Amino acid sequence: MEKGHVGEWALQAITADMETDEESRDTITTRTEDNVRGPVVQRVAGKKKIQERPLADYLDHENKEVVLHHIRDFISVNTSAIHQALPFYVLKELGLVAGMHTAKEYSMGLTLQFTDLPSLKSESAIRQSVGFLRTAKHVIKDGKDQMAPLIESDENRELFQKLAQAISNIPGTGTMAIAEK
């Protein structure tokens, strides 16, 4: 590097390295023949990319609009990221989601679904809160200060039960009883 400029040789070296990386990546993901199993697809290590879809795409319910209406009302009134993460666990408990496995999918789905909602927290804040709800903290549970997952606090249990009851009363949800937590 001379006087703040990258030399031609450095650019050629970087370009050659990038081409080598692309070639090796191509060979990793190609199909190969295996005498025992037949065609085999080799997979690249790493995390699977999440699907960026609105929450409605994940709902497994015949009245999706009504479920979304209840969730919208809930997150409009309950404006903390912790409370906006609660519907993730409600939907999981009621078995109303298909293909949504991670907090990232939920938080992305929620932000894509309710783009016009000014009280909605950021995707990142909601995603972190989904995990935070399962973290043991000093909470008021059964009227006493004790260590328990945040989702089991009296306040969060009450909100969880209200939303779960509202959604389970929607025709088509089934006769699922909401267990007291």
Nearest to 167 by CA among 101, 73, 98, 83: 73
Q: Supply the pLDDT for residue 9.
A: 59
Mean pLDDT for each consecutive 10-residue tract of the chain (181 residues)? 58 58 46 54 62 90 94 97 97 92 94 95 97 94 94 97 95 55 41
DSSP strands (E only) in the chain: 31-34, 38-41, 136-141, 144-149
d(C-alpha 107, C-alpha 129), whole Å: 9
Inter-residue contact 63 to 167 (CB < 8 Å) = no
Per-residue b or e along 67-103, where b marks 16 or more CB atoms closer than 10 Å to that residue's CB: bbebbbebbeebeebbbbbbbbbbbebbebbeebebb
Task: Please state whether the predicted TM-score (pTM) of the whole model is above 0.75.
Answer: no
